[in-house]
A and B are shown apart, each in its own frame.
Chain A
Amino acid sequence: MNAIVSLVHFCEADGPSVIFCTQAFHDNAAEDVEECLSASNGRSSPVPARTILEKENGTLSNKKDLLNAVRSGPASCASCAFSLPPPDTLGDIKVLNYSEKKGFKTEDDENPLITYVGSRYPQHPQLYSAVRQACVRSLSCEFCQGREGPVLFGDDKNGYVLSYMFKIRDSQARGFQRLYSFIFLMTDRIYLVASWPFLVSKFKSLATDLQLKASQIFEKEGSTLSPSSPDQYLRRRTNQPLRSLVDLLKTKDLFVYIHANFSWILKACGRRLQEKHVNDQTLFPNTSFLSQHSVFHTPTESNVDNKIPSNSMKESSTWIENLKSLQDMLGVVNFRKLILNFIRGNQLIICGSDSKIIKSIVSIIKDLVSNGCSVMENGTDYQPITKCNILCIPTSTKIPSEMNFLNIFLHIYNIPSKDEDSNKTIRFNLENGIDEHTIGIVNVNKSYSPPNLYINQLSEILNLNLSPELMNMRLEMFKEEWSSKVKQYLRFIIDGDNIDPGVDKPVNGLIISNSLRQLELIRYLDVNEIDLPTLKFLSDCLKNA
């Protein structure tokens, strides 16, 4: 995530001007300013940022000196000046060489590589012009109903901007009001739109806070500072420059406060949404339509066997209609193993040459989870599990030998049949993967392990002798039931993150924390410990969807 948060002001003397910017830097790449403008996406909670005032060192400050010299013009005006709090107000914060300071530097406690730098302008010339343009445009072009509130604008060249405009009361300003705006500038429009509710709510509360302070001061001043004549009133104001925001709000550490808020917004925004590169080669897999098909349409045959009857072949060639037919074809044991492995997050590799049958299998299996699992159809080379959950490759593809139980292979062989009408017989072969019986032993240290709930429930449903419509309905309900469990689990993980980052988290689902909270959750969700990897996998899918 590349973003800059900034406070801008329509100054009565200079027009639109940038007051303060906060951006994130990666320490190890301070040289390359453009690239290091990425916010943290740390996984743990945002603790109150430790603000350290420091003389900026190294390349950063050199650049800044240069740029400040170039743009000395607008900085002179008091009303749009950014100022540091006097050292005595800072308390225990480390102060170094106060007079030469130009900004704030906040270190991320959780990710030592990231620092948030608050200064008047961004150092990079291109960023400066982008911020400047966003500032001018948001204050003097864009219109928001009531002139207070959020607007979104931008283009690919200068980035996209969310601007939250607000007014602050000032007894000395024209019209007793001064116009400010928080702007959030980034290059990714979709990300920005997705972050809209979060950013707007944060900006709004920040703005309300400032407005409240200003109003209180305005009320106080209003009684003492009423001009006796219009003329006097005018004269006084023309000769007196407007106060800076610090003086206006009578808050000495105002910019520390703003910087802390901006840093937190940058960090939290990075945590909220993460950009993910999807390796799915078919971005909108056509199989998704077919999977719908299997849910809503009734299969024409019920007597699907290992050998597909010839009359169905003529109509729709080789095709597996639904879960039940898949189970019938694979046999109950193999079917359970296949589903179990997939649902625990192991990689499913399907080798075969018949693309239609592969597609149908993929669509059926994929349908079990929400759209979030990554499928690579028509793959040619082996891809590791980090790239895709389901991989379809031709039989000829070479597979690295170091396969472990985290992969499961489904080989599909076509055997020409002797029968003239039906052309093919299909044989399945499962390799690798974990067995149902081993799981319990691996995870719970040889104690008694209840069988995996998910697969048991699924098998039970499939064994019911229901009409196809009812079966589909029942399966949908089953999926719903699990997805609600997964949602609670996800909430639990997120809350756990936020409340207490110190507690062991079920990072990959295999580590079962001793914490009582988790046991409680398991009991509450009515699942077994053995189902945790399943929950984990399903929640990942949900997050990606």
Chain B
Amino acid sequence: MSNFEEEYSLHTNSQDIGNGEELPEDPIQDHRPRLLIMGQRRSGKSSIQKVVFHKMPANETLFLEATNKIVKEDITSFIDFQVWDFPGQINYFDAPYDANMIFGDYGALIFVIDAQDDYIEALNRLHHTVTRAYKVNPDLSFEVFIHKVDALSDEYKIDTQRDIQQRITDELADHDLEHVHLNFYLTSIYDHSIFEAFSKVIQKLIPQLPTLENLLNILCANSGIEKAFLFDVNSKIYIATDSSPVDMQSYEICSDMIDVIVDISEIYGRTNSYRDESYDDPSQIDANGSSGNYETANDASSLIKLNNGTILCLRGVNRFLALVCLLRADNFEKHGLIDYNFQCFKEAIAEVFELKRRNAERAKHERMGLIENVDDSIGG
């Protein structure tokens, strides 16, 4: 069995995962990518972090204290990354701080702007941040969250975004930095927009993204699926989707479905045996607890028929990931085919991450080897 798998995976390596070959050079192997959340004070940085990664209810974020130091958080999931939440009051480009240490690593800088407030000052700060951080690390990707848009009308939202985008690109152009690309997102913690924005930010940190998208495209084309999302179950961030455009409603309904399944499995799906197994890996208790059967068999599945003739379909992929699809009821008639395609997709995903794991292990062994060599030379 294992022999077969190995052969199979070796066989598929070169075809499917072309960009996987470049992994060893990728900094992701050495450092966790960083998400640096910056912005003016009270713009909602800590709230975003709490809502997305701690499942804090949005209205409870009102009572958060002011952040007084950089709060670093390690997220262990399908990829490991760090979230750094900065206090808005402190300028980390000042002399006493080591900008290289903070901005030098691979990752993304998320700048949060409070859209309900006067944002002129925030824009100055954004400009300053971008220019300085770009100087330190040109590889950083810059993301701007125009935040707290829940209270704005749709029209006003668009206007605000256009205004902010215009001002900041003009200003960057004035300083010969027009080639620095900023991405803008309208976000709010009271709806799914913050998850969607985070999804897009994190997708950029995933080197396997094109492979995953390609796999999803193949799946969708061959199974009559309209839209498919590959979700990280814990954070409800989707790490990949097929190349058809994402509309907010389909994302929301898929995200809600995960909530439903998680809640149901929390109540009914968890048995003692599951619990015992999930304790094997203490860091993942939360993940396993909430995703129940993903851990054991990866064959969790759920089907919800909607009254407009579409079907929501969820399949567990591995202990972090779940695939959620939207498809027409008529296409679901051939569900044997769909099941088979799912199975193939799951195996392909497993191989993608198996390769990553092996690379990581190899790098680790190399380091260990180095250490052993050092020990030997000391001993000798």
Residues on A facing B (Cβ under 8 Å): 10-16, 133, 136-137, 139-141, 143, 173-177, 179, 230, 233-234, 238
Contact = CB atoms under 8 A, between A and B. Distances in A.
Nearest to A167: B65
Given A10-B68, A15-B89, A15-B90, 20 more contacts: A10-B66, A10-B89, A16-B90, A136-B90, A139-B69, A140-B68, A141-B69, A143-B69, A173-B66, A174-B64, A174-B65, A174-B66, A175-B66, A176-B63, A177-B65, A179-B66, A230-B59, A230-B62, A238-B42, A238-B117
A12 to B, nearest CB: 5
Given A139-B68, A174-B64, A233-B62, A12 B89 contact: yes
A104 B210 CA distance: 67
A9 to B, nearest CB: 10
B210 to A, nearest CB: 40
A199 to B, nearest CB: 22
Contacts of B63: 174-176
Nearest to A11: B89
Nearest to B63: A175
A233 B62 CA distance: 9
A12 B293 CA distance: 45
A175 B41 contact: no
26 contacts: A10-B66, A12-B41, A12-B89, A15-B68, A15-B89, A16-B68, A16-B89, A133-B96, A136-B96, A139-B68, A139-B69, A140-B68, A140-B69, A141-B69, A143-B69, A174-B64, A174-B65, A175-B63, A175-B65, A176-B63, A179-B66, A179-B68, A230-B59, A230-B62, A238-B42, A238-B117
B64 A175 contact: yes
A341 B117 CA distance: 83
B217 to A, nearest CB: 43
Contacts, number: 51
Interface of B: 41-42, 59, 62-66, 68-69, 87, 89-90, 96, 117
Nearest to A174: B66
Nearest to B151: A231
Given A175-B63, A230-B62, A234-B62, A13 B68 contact: no
Nearest to A133: B96
Nearest to B68: A10
Contacts of B42: 12, 174, 238
B96 A14 contact: no
Closest CB pairs A-B (n = 3): A175-B65, A15-B89, A140-B69
B319 to A, nearest CB: 32
B89 A13 contact: yes
A12 B40 CA distance: 11
A12 B66 contact: yes
A234 B69 CA distance: 23
A15 B94 CA distance: 13
Contacts of A133: 96
A413 B296 CA distance: 93
B380 to A, nearest CB: 38
A15 B65 contact: no
A143 B66 CA distance: 15
Contacts of A143: 69
A75 to B, nearest CB: 16
Contacts of B69: 139-141, 143
Nearest to B148: A234
Contacts of B117: 238
A13 B41 contact: yes
Contacts of B66: 10, 12, 173-175, 179
Contacts of B62: 230, 233-234
Contacts of A14: 89
Contacts of A179: 66, 68
A174 B47 CA distance: 12
Contacts of B65: 173-175, 177
